[in-house]
Amino acid sequence: MAAITISRQLGSLGSEVAQAVAARLGWRVIWRELINQAAREAGAGEMALATIDDLNLLGLRPRAEVRQAYLDAIARLMDEAASQGKVIILGRAGQVVLRERADTLHMRIIAPLTLRAERVAARQGISLQAAEAQVQASDRARRRYVQRFYHMDWDDSSLYDLIINTRRMAAEPAAELVCLALRHYGLGSKGEDALD
């Protein structure tokens, strides 16, 4: 069975690409439910750990054993989902957690900062300046999460099988590239050939 991890920058259309790929292939996308299940298994309420990486921004420090239980649960749940196959895992350092799995394609969706800020401003109805600050804060938080918990660089291109820049591309053509990559790596079955 095959799986895809998608690491994305805020405003890069990464979530939209994931949904478009899922629609083409009939796969499921997991993100929030993975976080909530890991939080429950770590013995904390859903909201207590759903944003564990953001808690540090607020000056809050979850106990080390709770944080480790959460990370262990995330890794196990990702591995189980990938083993079941036909799943797209958004974020949570899936490209690192599942890097040893030969049946998993690791994608990164990026776009220039200015364009990402414009997209966020339009979607949320906020100023361009506020959107740019939000995008930069998101980049820092995601970079810090991967570095702090996995000791790897979120921006390291060697973690990804394919990096797609959506500067000149909407979500649908990007999804088509993901499907092509899936087939190229021999991970898509004939029944999942979304381009026929």
* Calculated CA dihedral for residues 173, 178, 183, 184, nearest 10 degrees: 100
pLDDT of residue 58: 45
Per-residue pLDDT of the chain (196 residues; tens, 9 = 90+): 799 999 999 999 999 999 999 999 999 999 877 667 766 666 665 445 445 555 554 445 667 777 788 788 888 889 999 999 999 999 989 999 999 999 999 999 999 999 999 999 999 999 999 999 999 999 998 998 899 889 999 999 999 999 999 999 999 999 999 999 999 988 765 444 444 4
Can you give the pLDDT at residue 71?
83
Residues whose CB is less than 8 angstroms from the CB of residue 96 and which lie 6 or more positions away in sequence, other chains included = 146, 150, 152, 159
- Residue 146 in tokens: 């991967």
- Give the separation between CA 60 and CA 19, rounded to whole angstroms: 33
Q: Which CATH class is domain 3-30+87-189?
A: alpha beta
Which structure tokens are listed for 178? Answer: 């993901």
Buried b (16+ CB within 10 A) or exposed e, 13-41: bbbbbbbbbbebbebebbbeebbebbbeb
Nearest one of 35, 34, 30 to 15, comparing CA atoms: 30
Residue labelled with tokens 């994305």: 8
* Strand residues in the chain grouped as ranges (E): 3-8, 28-30, 87-90, 104-110, 162-165
Question: In terms of residues, how long is the chain?
Answer: 196
